[in-house]
Structure formats: structure tokens, C-alpha cells
Amino acid sequence: MTPADDPRLDRYLAKRNFTVTPEPSGGSPSEALPRFVVQQHAARRLHYDVRLEIDGVLVSWAVPKGPSMDHAVRRLAVRTEDHPMDYAGFEGAIPKGEYGGGTVVVWDAGVWHNLTESKGRLKPPAEAVARGHVRAWLEGEKLLGAWDFVRTDDRNWLMIKVADAAADPELDPVRDEPRSVLSGRTLEEVAADPGAEWHSDRPPS
Ligand code: MN
């Protein structure tokens, strides 16, 4: 199935005019471990888009305050439309007036492992999303450890750090590590030079 034929991407494709936006429209599943990406996105309001590769698409949430390393903190995560795989390497400027208009940087990226269990058995990730609870172990450059994604109602979920060895209320990568893991640029630097768009279909090394 090509991305354009994948019904999970219908909403993504319908929202965008690809003659205007530099955003990607396709991509292939990872050959090895599934990927995750967190994109800092200065749209009407700044937020962090957290995306988990599940069965060849990026299942996505917009997290206004970004991920926390503190188990005691619950971050609102609003489910958004599934994105195509190539979006994991997208950094640049979406033109004003277009859907999601504003600047995007790849704030963190890496691989993830599904840890969602039910009655002692591992639950497949697509089923976990459908049931409203995903436990994801993230291995990024900034984020490490497990997070729970818990649906509260309709599109609203919470993203909560699991109380594992990596949890640390003193760590705040959203505050302390603003730069792109792809280009080393800040959101402000990308906004100031929107011509320098970055496209990559590979995760950062
Ligand atoms: Mn966004």
C-alpha cells in the first residue's frame, strides 16, 4: 500500500496543499525498530508534536507544554491526525495561512519500544492506541525511559512519565535543550532563515 492509498493518512492529506507546503506526503516504514520523533512547532501556539511509528504511520499527539521527565507531572496530549513516515525528518517553515502554518524543528528523535501490557501480555501498539493506553519506552537524544499515554476523553490524552530509573524531576529538556537534533538550530534560527528547509528520510545518527 502506498501512503496515498493508506486511509489512515486521508485526514493528513486532505488538510494540506502540497503545491504550497513543504511538508512531505509519503515515506516507508522503518526497516528495523520503530521510530519516534518530537517536533517543536511554533504554530498559533507553541507546542510539541509527539509521534510514534505504528504500523507504518506516525501516530501523533500535540503536547502544549512538551514531555516532562517528572512522574508527578501530567501533560495534556491532544491526539492529532496520523502523519506519513517522512514527516519524522521534516524541519522548516509551513507558510502562513496554511494548515499548521509556522516553524517546525526536530526537537528529539530515536527509536521506541512498546511496553503496553494487558493481563501480563504485550498488547500490539495499534490496539493499545485504540483502547486508549500506550506505554512507550523512548530512546532519543533528550528523552529516555517510559511514558504512558492515557486517553481521558475523545481527543484528549495525558502523557505521563513512568516512575522508572530515568524519571527525574530535576531534568527539564524542554527548558534546557531547545536545539534541533537534526540541524542544531533553534526554532528562532529556523524561523529567521525559512529558505533553509531541512528534509531527511533518515533518523539522526
Ligand atoms: Mn503541530
Q: Please tell me the distance between residue 159's alpha carbon and the centre of ligand 1 in angstroms.
A: 16
How many structural domains are present in the chain? Answer: 1
| Residue 103 within any structural domain of the chain | yes
Is 114 within the bounds of a domain?
Answer: yes
25 — pLDDT class (breaks 50, 70, 90) = confident
Q: Is residue 113 part of a domain?
A: yes
**Does residue 205 belong to any structural domain of this protein?**
no
Q: Is residue 28 part of a domain?
A: no
Let me know if residue 16 belongs to a domain.
yes
Identify whether 10 is part of a domain. yes
121 CA from centroid of ligand 1 (Å): 33
Q: How far is the CA of 48 from the centre of ligand 1 (A)?
A: 7
What's the gap in Å between 30 CA and the centre of ligand 1?
22
Examine residue 18 and state whether it is found in any structural domain, yes or no.
Answer: yes
pTM of the model: 0.92
pLDDT digits (tens, 9 = 90+) for 97-116: 999 999 999 999 999 999 99
What is the whole-number distance in angstroms between the Cα of residue 119 and the centre of ligand 1? 35
Query: Cα(175) to centroid of ligand 1, in Å?
Result: 18
User: Which parts of the chain are beta strand (E)?
Assistant: 35-42, 46-54, 57-63, 74-83, 90-94, 102-114, 117-118, 121-122, 133-140, 144-153, 156-161, 198-199
Helix (H) or strand (E) holding 14: helix 10-14
> What tens digit of pLDDT does each residue of 48-87 get?
999 999 999 999 999 999 999 999 999 999 999 999 999 9
Q: How confident is the model at residue 188 (pLDDT cuts 50, 70, 90)?
A: very high
Domain with 133, as residue range(s), is 3-22+34-199
For residue 59, the CA-to-ligand 1 centroid distance in Å is 13
